[in-house]
Amino acid sequence: MIWKQGFLNESSLVAPKVNDLYNRKSIHVVERIKRRMKNTRTFNFTLMLFIPVIYYFLGVFWYGLAYSTMALFMLWYTQGIINSIKRLDQGANSYEYLKSFDSCLNDIFEKMGKIVRFSLPIYCFIGLSAIGAFWTKMGMFLILQKRHPTIDIQLCALVYLGTSVLLAIIFSVKIYKWEVRVVYGRLLNKLEETIIEMDKLKQGE
């Protein structure tokens, strides 16, 4: 990644050194974010391949297959959104590219947040349903019903399932934003700091 020219006016005596410094700094930040995104997707893809196997040994294979299939479809679908980074024009200098890169990331995270609004509740439903199926297979509901004969255990389980899915719907975006901050927080802060520094330098030309 080499920009055509520095983001500062080359007529300044310090401009070449500053331009070179921020070119390297920009490349470092951008490449680290791209690498983190790639590693995260690779980890999720690998994990989804193991989910059906784990669920198989728990006796609820079809739930695992449904969970994994949906997750893999989401990975494939969201890859198209993430690929918008590749279409970014590097522009004349690192400053312009970083601004475009930051805007593109915000757009990606916003679109992903909208997808999470419906995908997270479905994941929650499948996951908890799998637990319920496993408990039924192991006779756990019958054991609990015998211990608490005055309580409808299955009704409680359904209420718990419904409440959990409802909470997943309500807090899905907040959960996603928290996840983004955990995974990318430091890198996004570094990106923002670099852009602010370059803004100040340009204003001081």
Mean pLDDT, rounded, for 194-200 = 84
Mean pLDDT, rounded, for 32-52 = 93
Residue 92 has pLDDT above 60, yes or no: no
pLDDT in tens, 14-24: 456 666 777 78
Residue 202 has pLDDT above 80, yes or no: no
40-49, 113-122, 139-148, 179-188: lowest mean pLDDT where?
A: 139-148
Residue 2 has pLDDT above 70, yes or no: no
Q: Which two tokens stand for residue 97?
A: 């590219």
Q: If pLDDT is split at 50, 70 and 90, which confidence band does 199 have?
A: confident
**Which carries the bigger pLDDT value, residue 78 or residue 204?**
78
Q: If pLDDT is split at 50, 70 and 90, which confidence band does 36 have?
A: very high
Q: How many CA atoms lie within 13 A of 58 on its CB side?
A: 21
What is the length of the chain?
205
pLDDT in tens, 109-132: 999 999 999 899 999 999 999 999
Q: Which two tokens stand for residue 12?
A: 């300044």
Query: What global pTM score does this model have?
Result: 0.79
Mean pLDDT, rounded, for 97-120 = 90
DSSP the chain: ---SS-SS-TTSSSHHHHHHHHHHHHHHHHHHHHHHHHHHHHHHHHHHHHHHHHHHHTT-HHHHHHHHHHHHHHHHHHHHHHGGGTT----SSHHHHHHHHHHHHHHHHHHHHHHHHHHHHHHHHHHHHHHHHHHHHTTHHHHHHHH-TTS-HHHHHHHHHHHHHHHHHHHHHHHHHHHHHHHHHHHHHHHHHHHHHHHHHHHT-
| Residue at token pair 């496993």 | 134
Q: Return the pLDDT at 201.
A: 74
Q: How far is CA 171 from the centre of its chain?
A: 15
Mean pLDDT, rounded, for 95-116 = 89
* CA-based radius of gyration for the chain: 24
Q: Return the pLDDT at 7.
A: 44
